Amino acid sequence: MQLRIISKKIIKPSSPTPLHLKTHKLSLLDQLAPDIYTSLLFFYNGPSRVYDETNTSTNNVYHRLKSSLSKTLTLYYPFAGKLLQDNYVVDCDDSGIPFVETRGPSSISMSEVLKNPEMNTLQQLLPFNPNKKYLSTDDVNAAVQINHFDCGGVAIGLNFRHIVADGAASVGFIQNWAKLHSSDDNSIINYKHAVVDCTDTFPSNQEISSYARRIIEWHRAPECVTKRFVFDGGKVAALRGEIIKKDASLSLNQYRPTRFEAVSGLIWDALIAMDREENVGSTCIASVPVNLRNRMNPPLPEDCIGNLYHAVTCTTNKTSARNINQFTKMVNDDFVRKVYQDGGIVFVNQYKEAVEEILKGDNGVRLFGFTGVIGLPFYEPDFGWGKPVWSTTAMSLNNIAVLLGTRDGKGVEAWVGLPINDMPKFEQDPGILTYASFIPSRGAGFD
């Protein structure tokens, strides 16, 4: 799909960032995040059936989009700044973010993209390819691309620098942008700055960034493929019931797995079975992020900027969904403060040792990361022409699954990245075949 660029512009905050806020310090949690571009995509049936550069009414809509984006950047001012060389600080210099408008070919409609979404097509709808290998101080912290389809519909693509913001902050950004755009007064007077300094609790560490870079390079294995697996609401409900049925202790404890736990557990079980078929002594470790915003005391703003999550590592067990629940539920304010006390020196040393062990290779250990935005208002951003008909991402990393909620709030969409030789085996797992809908790999070697 070839897109034609209509316009490019740099959008700056509507009000200058005050002098005392010009420096935004990154926390240890930010430094642990991969320095890559994350991505969000929102598909809408509006605002107009056909985009026309000469149409005054249409132009007013997009002028208002830019104006409301500028005001939103005043609240999220680190997005409009630049990361300094030491990776500890964002210079909030109000240099702004790219705003690109494109028009798709008349031969491809938005409905065709939605019917059979392919990773390469989705990534073209973003300002930057999220697979860009190395980011530098010259790279921006956020960017927006508005894509118009001739047959009607608009896709809004956003990139965020992960070291500056996690998924919750990114979704909060577009949610507030949509609110500002669609409000009558278009004023930020009732909005609070979405920036919180967490470096007292999570002070930065000089050594950790290099280890975080090494682990993300490991996740960028060249021979990997990312595929979309859809678990509709009925299948998720059946899966959750099956998990309880298999483990009588779950019903006694009145535990019911969440959508995230059920689908993550199913994917994890499939990987365990696949690895053990080839290597009986293999180990599959799952890394699961826990949003700390509502677990700290006092709670942090739900949409505040930064990487406010703690990644727990879960070892193999007979009931993976339950295992994920047991590891994640222990993360509370007391747990976090103990883990990161004294600058998190014990945690940092354990992290460094774990990275060294994983990077050895050929040791029978698979580290698989789960992430996603289930439970966040992913389908809520409404710019005045209705809520998204589809919201998704376009991330492609090895041994990573990005889990998103479906529009009806009942199902799960999972983008799973695996080594290219592992994907056909994963697709043949009985659990995946039972609960997921997907397009099988070609040439998988199965009859």
Residues labelled catalytic: 162, 382
Q: Which long-range contacts (CB under 8 A, 24 or more apart) does 54-62 make?
A: 62/101, 62/146
Q: Do 246 and 255 meet the contact criterion of CB atoms below 8 Å apart?
A: no
Neighbours of 52 (CB within 10 A): 12
DSSP count for the chain of H helices, then E strands: 14, 15
Q: Would you call 410 helix, strand, or coil by DSSP?
A: coil
Residues in the chain: 447
CA distance 343 to 182: 43
Alpha helix (H) residue ranges in 230-294: 233-246, 248-252, 259-278
CA distances from 340 to 67, 188, 240, 346 (A): 40, 35, 34, 8
CA distance 52 to 26: 42
The DSSP bridge pattern shows strands 142-148 and 97-103 to be parallel
CA-based end-to-end distance of the chain: 33
User: Which two three-digit tokens encode residue 211?
Assistant: 């280890």
Helix 259-278 / helix 320-329 crossing angle, nearest 10 deg: 120
Rounded to the nearest 5°, which phi and psi values hold at 371? -150, 175
Q: Which residues contact 91 (CB under 8 A, 6 or more apart)?
A: 22, 23, 81, 82, 83, 84
CA distance 408 to 404: 12
Task: Report CA torsion sign: 178, 183, 188, 192.
Answer: negative
